[in-house]
Structure 1
Amino acid sequence: MNDAIDPVVEADLDAYVDDQLDAGRRIEIARYLSHHPEQAARVMSDLQARDELRLALTGMHSKGSPETSEAARRLERGLMRNRLLGNLQRVAAVAVLVGIGWLAHAGFGPLTISEVVASTPPPAYVADAVMAHKTSLVRAGMKSQSEVNSYDPAEIRAATAITMPQLLDRWIVNDVQLFPSAFGPSVEMEIRSDEMKRLSLFAVRPGSFDVVKPKALRIDDSTAAYFQIGDVAYALVSDASPADLEIVASQLAKTLY
């Protein structure tokens, strides 16, 4: 009689492709795929695309498809897809979040991007990350809003299909919240560090697959450094300089490979 295993969901298959499972769970997923050929074929295709993309990005010779190599070169140069309906998605996300603390939006006023970076508009989720950061500051000053500092990246992955980067040394998690967005749940994490005092890490699935190297910019009185790996995008927000925050974002991005 075969031992029963936990139900296999889409997040498990994504974690299998991303090498995020322990050996025992990978064996269970492999057993599941051996009985589900259609799912197995899709997973094998994802594994091939992942490996080809990694090889192309590192400049190694690969026998992968020319399309993958060309896509990697475009991504490495930092070209990003135009995000249609970006403003509508941002407005929809704010409307949903009004009931859980996003009323602070009215007090912050519209977000403005400095002229230095105006020629390269950031993705829509960056504005959401800055707003989430400001909201977390408001929450921190409210006695009625209790902080949740128990951080379990595996649980977040299982619930949202969002893989969180490995936190840097001496970082202390003050609060972790899940917020709805136009593409599903997003993660807002408030962090304390000796170097940057207080900063936020925002993660969301923006609805597209891309590879974007860390970039930093000023939005109002905050700095945001954003990057994307695969189908998950990340943004760090703090009062640090763009150069310093971009270095930290690069360190976080390396933990995801």
Structure 2
Amino acid sequence: MNLFIELAMNPPEWLLFDPLLRVLTIMTILRSPQGCPWDREQTHKSLKSQLIEECYELLEAIDQEDPSSIKEELGDILLHVLFHAQIAQEAGKFSFWDILDSLSAKLIRRHPHVFGTQTASTTDEVYQNWEKIKKKEKPHRESLFDGIPLYLPALIKAMKLQSKASKLNLDWKDPQGPLSKMQEELDELKEAYGEKNREKIKKEIGDLIFSAVNFSRMLGIDPEEAIKESSVVFEKRCRFIEKELKASTPSENPEDLDKLWEKAKEIYP
């Protein structure tokens, strides 16, 4: 193993031309008895939350249009792929090379209009082909709703469920439908609040948000992106007010805070 460590730290010229082999060597070392205690202790399950965190960090880097950060975060996600592959290989399940082979086969299989005889000149045609291919690949899925990940963020999952339901014609004809439903759910929420019924309030809040997602979907707006942008603006306004309050004598007068809020809205519309 000392030889592997030497190769990883001071790679010969031939290894420098194969960075993938070098990083696989490093991962093997980290998981070895001569490696890192923390790395050796990790399992597929213990790495789950960290992988989710890395994905969100990549999304943030993409939104910031920061190539350096995007490169770093992609590397962190690749590290998790290597980590899971190494754990599986040690258990005799599969290797990183098996992942690559499987991925290559899948890409070719799902692009018959590129690697086969089928044709697809539009994105819609490509999507229709994919749906047919996926049905053949996963015949055990009996429902349209099978395959929707359990751990998706709630807004994304709601949107996917609604999209699947639309294929059964369980959908509104136009955005006015869910818009009217939002008003109906808001009225029911007000009623539940008046009754001080906590469980009913919770249900009606969920129904209201679900209807808002439906409305957003029918307009082609990603609700996850919409709420994220609203949160960013809200934070900027709050930070502005926080800074203003620190620079002056704190006021508990609601009218003064209202004026600051209006000023913040002008700066961050």
Please state which band the TM-score falls in when normalised by the shorter chain: under 0.3
| TM-score, normalised with respect to structure 1 | 0.27
Flag the structure with higher strand content. Answer: 1
Structure having the higher Rg: 2
With the length of structure 2 as denominator, give the TM-score of the two structures: 0.26
